[in-house]
C-alpha cells in the first residue's frame, strides 16, 4: 500500500490554484491522462449532484498530490475545521528563504520558526494558512527526515 493524495474542498478554485502553484511552487497536473486539467466526475458519497471539478498539484519529486475539489453549484462556505483535515505538511529545503518569499506574498503565518525539542533532525517548523483557511505545516530537516 502506498499513500496517494490529500483532498480538500475549496470555494475559490482559481485563488487556491494560484496559492499552491504560484506561491508554494507546486505543479498543476492533469486529473487523468488524456483529460483536461481541472475536470472530473465524482462517485464520492458527499456529492449531491451538480458539476464538480478536481485539480491535482504536486511538488518536485513527489508522487503524492493535493486534490482540490470544487463544487460549482455550492453557495455556502466550508468550515475547514469541520472537514477533519488538521493540517497538510510539506518538506522544504530552505525554510528561511521560503518564509521570506511567502511573507512577500502576504501569506498568513500561524507559527514561525518553531524548533521542536523532541527531535534533533528537524531544523525548523512554520505553520501557514491557505486562502481557504487550511493549516499548512512547512518543515525543514537537518539532514534527513525520520521517514527516509
Q: Which residue is associated with the grid cell 486562502?
A: 131
Alpha helices in the chain (DSSP H): 13-18, 95-104
Q: 1-76 and 86-148: same fold?
A: no
What beta strand segments (E) does the chain contain? 5-9, 27-29, 52-58, 65-71, 88-91, 108-114, 122-129, 135-141
Task: Return the higher-pLDDT residue of 121 and 2.
Answer: 121
Would you list the domain boundaries of the chain? 1-76, 86-148
Percent of the chain with pLDDT over 70: 79
Q: What is the mean pLDDT of the chain?
A: 80
- Per-residue model confidence (pLDDT) at position 83: 67
Q: Which residue is associated with the grid cell 534527513?
A: 144
Query: What is the rounded CA–CA span in Å between residue 125 and residue 113?
Result: 6
Given CATH 3.10.180.10, say whether it is the number of domain 1-76: yes
Task: Return the higher-pLDDT residue of 53 and 146.
Answer: 53
- Per-residue model confidence (pLDDT) at position 127: 92
- Would you place residue 50 in the very low, low, confident or very high pLDDT band (cuts 50, 70, 90)? low
Residue 133 Rama label (left phi>0; alpha psi -120 to 50; beta)? left
- Per-residue model confidence (pLDDT) at position 147: 57
Q: Which residue is associated with the grid cell 513527489?
A: 62
Query: What is the rounded CA–CA span in Å between residue 129 and residue 109?
Result: 7
- Per-residue model confidence (pLDDT) at position 121: 86
Q: What is the arithmetic mean of pLDDT over 126-139?
A: 92
Task: Return the higher-pLDDT residue of 127 and 60.
Answer: 127
Q: Which CATH class is domain 86-148?
A: alpha beta
- Checking if the pLDDT of 102 tops 80, the result is yes
Highest mean pLDDT among 69-78, 96-105, 128-137: 96-105
Strand partners, 55: 68
- Checking if the pLDDT of 16 tops 70, the result is yes
Quickly count: other Cβ atoms within 10 Å of residue 60's Cβ.
8
Amino acid at each position: 500500500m502506498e499513500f496517494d493524495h490529500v483532498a480538500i474542498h475549496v470555494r475559490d478554485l482559481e485563488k487556491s490554484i494560484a496559492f499552491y502553484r504560484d506561491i508554494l511552487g507546486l505543479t498543476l497536473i492533469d486529473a487523468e491522462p488524456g483529460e483536461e486539467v481541472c475536470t472530473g466526475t465524482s462517485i464520492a458519497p458527499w456529492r449531491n449532484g451538480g458539476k464538480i471539478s478536481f485539480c491535482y498539484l504536486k511538488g518536485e519529486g513527489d508522487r503524492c498530490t493535493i486534490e482540490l475539489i470544487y463544487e460549482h453549484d455550492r453557495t455556502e462556505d466550508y468550515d475547514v475545521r469541520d472537514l477533519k483535515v488538521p493540517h497538510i505538511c510539506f518538506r522544504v529545503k530552505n525554510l528561511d528563504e521560503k518564509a521570506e518569499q511567502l511573507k512577500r506574498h502576504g501569506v498568513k503565518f500561524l507559527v514561525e520558526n518553531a524548533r521542536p525539542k523532541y527531535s534533533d533532525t528537524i531544523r525548523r517548523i512554520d505553520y501557514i494558512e491557505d486562502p481557504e483557511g487550511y493549516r499548512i505545516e512547512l518543515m525543514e530537516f537537518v539532514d534527513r527526515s525520520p521517514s527516509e
